[in-house]
Amino acid sequence: MKELIIKKSNFEEEVINSDSPVLVDFWADWCGPCKMLSPVLSEIAEENDTFKIGKVNVDSDHVLAQKYVITNIPCLVLFKDGKEVDRLVGFHSKEEIIEFVNK
């Protein structure tokens, strides 16, 4: 699956109403760990078909960042059945992220 660009305008459709789990990466251009995490998430997105990965830029979509109380980035928020079930903050390895989603 390809990574999705998530904005306020498509959040409900792509995340809340999704039939599959969605891992949302809250990130920013100026964030070093976010830049390190990006290729890891791209690789996971290409290799998996059980969950979607979306990206929310906290600078350009601060409404979503505020709604989900994103205080540190990168912040990976896992949604299942339209609800937040867990979150992971900071840089993590591919294996850690896959384990996080599958638990």
Residue spans of the domains in the chain: they are 4-102
6, 24, 31, 44: the catalytic one is 31
Model confidence band, residue 3 (pLDDT cutoffs 50, 70, 90): confident
**75 labelled catalytic:** no
Cα dihedral angle (79, 36, 45, 60), rounded to 10 degrees?
A: 60
Catalytic residue among 6, 15, 24, 34: 34
Residue 73 burial by Cβ neighbours in a 10 Å radius (0-12, 13-18, 19+): buried
In this structure, CATH architecture of domain 4-102:
3-Layer(aba) Sandwich (3.40)
The 10s digit of each residue's pLDDT in 64-78 is 999 999 999 999 999
Poorest-pLDDT segment among 33-37, 39-43, 46-50? 46-50
Does residue 31 have an active-site annotation?
A: yes
**Closest-CA residue to 78 (of 67, 70, 86):** 86
Which tokens sit at 78? 């896992």
